[in-house]
Amino acid sequence: MLKIAIYGKGGIGKSTVTANLAAAFAKSGKKVIQIGCDPKADSTINLMGGKSILPVMNFIRDNDREPETPEEIAHTGYGGILCIETGGPTPGLGCAGRGIITTFSLLEDLKLFETFQPDVVLYDVLGDVVCGGFAAPIRENYASHILIVTSGEKMALYAARNIHAAVQNFADRAYAKVFGLVMNRRNVENEEEKVRTFAEEEKLRIVSEIPRSNDITRCEDKGMTVIEGAPESEAAQRFAELAETLWKECNP
Amino acid sequence: MKNCAKILSIYASDTAGVCSMLYELGGMTIVHDASGCNSTYATHDEPRWYSKPAMVYISALTEMDVIMGNDAKLLEDAARAAKELHPRFIALCGSPMPCMTGVDFPALAAELEAETGIPVLGLQTNGIGSYITGAGKALKMYLERFARLDVQKNPRLSVNLLGATPLDFSGSRQIGAIKEVIRQSGFELQSCMAMDSSPEELRDCGKAHVNLVLSASGLPAATYLKETFGIPFAAGVPYGEKFAEKLFRDLRKSAEDGQDRISCADRPAPEKEKCLAIIGESIGAASLAAASEESAKIFVPQALGPIFLQEQDSVFADEDEIEILSGKAGAILADPMYQPVIPAGTVFHALPHEAFSGRCYREMIPVLTGKNRESGVQLC
């Protein structure tokens, strides 16, 4: 089972990358689960035809009980992808990190992986590793590899450096390792040079370059990934190539 | 009120279960919690605290440690203490605050082991789950780490006792009586997990032919020993004489045919609903019901993870539910702390349970095994 966690600065395109990767894996015949680990709960929206799904935290809040079957919180989207959102507390209250830990513990209790038997699990994680909860997806038995999404923008690279440092702090633990950077182009000046310099400094590979593309915007406006809505586009091809690379190099 | 206790006590936590199960095994158990909480886990419901030395410590977690995620301080303190005390192993376990911040105890255990060279068990307890889960996890993890795989079977029919802690059996008198009847019945005792047994006896547990599961705390270890050594188990506590005889017959059969037997579940349904109802841990309460002179059923708290129930038995989630259930029973046998929620018209017999009322009624806990058993419960 291939398990990947996707990190990066808020707004950098993590959900776009994750959902397109999920769609690319599904299109190649893999059984996929995508777990959105962000209180905004919008990770899987473009796999669900533009519709939001009920996050786990909302389910618990609305029903005053924990879900008893995976079906109560897992929704099937494009290509049979099982979509789950952790969600989070009421904005400004509670503890979002704890929400992620609770959701993961719940998914274990529900034996989600044993029941669905996925080939690929993708964790789409909130912008930065701000506390223990947001490191949960990279713990032993969860993700084995990490992708960091960045552009050439200064703050995106700053966040990528922080994320890499956080992962390196766990070097003594059997946590996930960073597989590489996904350059999600914003067409800033000297973007490629900036990202390549950063990658060299951090000793990281750039494993994919996603072009700035109106196809992505147009498809997302329709609630789709480019894999679904513009399969011939360059962006779709890049996502398909990245999925293939991950399957070849990271699948245990 | 749903899931709310206005009157009743709560059962000992998973963290207390870990401390209790590992107490005599020569390890250093460190609970990651605020200073002063040691008594919560290892004194109020630990009869051995004043008679047997043990290394049970609290990390003295502070507000700033929690905010800053100061795992390094815990590891440094643990390594320093281990250097002075030379424990056989270290167990790290959690409490509610580390649970909230998601401290990763298995990962910390691996780091501490690499630092000290001492085996470290990382137990993801939260101080909220029941002692059954904590004690069960601790024993299974201990055996996974220390049970010798290269052992020969004992030439004599031998047995391990699984799930023995003071939380269910209080002091040594009760467990001593159980050991005595087992020996009198022709079994050799390989180990008792984990009261009055040496770490070496536990290490060589694979020599035994059969396991006797005395409480639900022993079930994860029983499963592990079945998978690893092919040792089958029978479940029940040898209360009274007739039930003890049946239990020992089952143990012999299991040793012969390799099949597990839930001896305590082998009880006829009472003829009337208004019969004696016993409240408690699944295997202990069911064994008492099986040994009782009058027909009986059991009520098991949801928090204790009920197992092996029969049609006549019930599970209850909170004190409202046990109040309603008790009203339908002819009489109740339970820890004295249940009495305030039992309807006035229902006869109540007290049988203290250390995991529920701690040391409050410890002196009242009778020996219910063997010919010299004490009065308190009418057993046949």
pLDDT in tens, A87-124: 988 878 788 888 888 888 899 899 999 999 999 999 99
Query: In terms of DSSP bridges, do strands A206-210 and A177-184 run parallel, antiparallel, or are they unpaired?
Result: parallel
Residue B377 pLDDT exceeds 70: no
User: Are residue B256 and residue B185 in the same domain, yes or no?
Assistant: yes
Domain that holds residue B299: 276-364
Element (H, E) at A98: helix A96-109
Query: What pLDDT does B223 receive?
Result: 97
Strand order in the sheet with A145-150: A75-76, A82-85, A32-37, A120-125, A2-8, A145-150, A177-184, A206-210
Number of domains in chain B: 3
User: Are residue B168 and residue B260 in the same domain, yes or no?
Assistant: yes
Distance CA(B24)–CA(B39), nearest Å, equals 17
Residue B1 pLDDT exceeds 60: no
User: Are residue B141 and residue B27 in the same domain, yes or no?
Assistant: yes
User: Are residue B287 and residue B359 in the same domain, yes or no?
Assistant: yes
**In this complex, do A140 and B106 lie within 8 Å of one another by their Cβ atoms?**
yes
User: Are residue B281 and residue B252 in the same domain, yes or no?
Assistant: no
* B361, two tokens: 């009624």
The chain-wide mean pLDDT, for chain B, equals: 92
Within a domain: B3? no
Q: What is the CATH number of the domain that holds B347?
A: 3.40.50
Give residue limits of the domains in chain A.
2-250
User: Are residue B301 and residue B211 in the same domain, yes or no?
Assistant: no
Distance CA(B135)–CA(B131), nearest Å, equals 6
Q: What proportion of chain B, given as a percentage, has pLDDT over 70?
A: 97
Q: State the average pLDDT over residues B183-195.
A: 95
User: Are residue B219 and residue B314 in the same domain, yes or no?
Assistant: no
Per residue in B317-366, pLDDT (tens digit) is: 888 899 889 888 999 999 999 999 999 888 999 999 999 999 899 888 88
Within a domain: B255? yes
- Closest CB to B102 among A97, A140, A170: A97
CA distance A175 to chain B (A): 9
User: Are residue B283 and residue B258 in the same domain, yes or no?
Assistant: no
3-state DSSP call for residue B218? helix
Q: What is the CATH number of the domain that holds B192?
A: 3.40.50.1980
Query: What pLDDT does A193 receive?
Result: 94
Interface ipTM: 0.76
Q: Using a CB–CB cutoff of 8 Å, tell me whether B5 touches chain A.
A: no
- Closest CB to B102 among A101, A140, A170: A101
Within a domain: B377? no
pLDDT band at A38 (very low <50, low <70, confident <90, very high): confident
Contact B258, B232 (CB under 8 A): yes
Per residue in B98-126, pLDDT (tens digit) is: 998 889 999 999 999 999 999 999 999 99
Backbone φ/ψ region at A148: left (φ over 0), alpha (ψ -120 to 50), beta: beta
User: Are residue B251 and residue B280 in the same domain, yes or no?
Assistant: no
Higher per-residue confidence, B167 vs B268: B167
Residues of A near B (Cβ–Cβ under 8 Å) read: 95, 97-98, 101, 131-133, 135-136, 139-140, 170, 172-175
The chain-wide mean pLDDT, for chain A, equals: 92
User: Are residue B309 and residue B341 in the same domain, yes or no?
Assistant: yes
Residues of A designated as active site: 9, 14, 40, 128
Per residue in B222-262, pLDDT (tens digit) is: 999 999 999 999 999 999 889 999 999 999 999 999 999 99
| Residue A207: partners with Cβ closer than 8 Å, 6 or more residues away | A147, A179, A180, A181, A182, A242, A245
As a dihedral over the C-alpha atoms of residue A194, residue A200, residue A205, residue A206, rounded to 10 degrees, the angle is 10
**Class of the CATH domain delimited by A2-250:** alpha beta
User: Are residue B115 and residue B29 in the same domain, yes or no?
Assistant: yes
User: Are residue B142 and residue B23 in the same domain, yes or no?
Assistant: yes
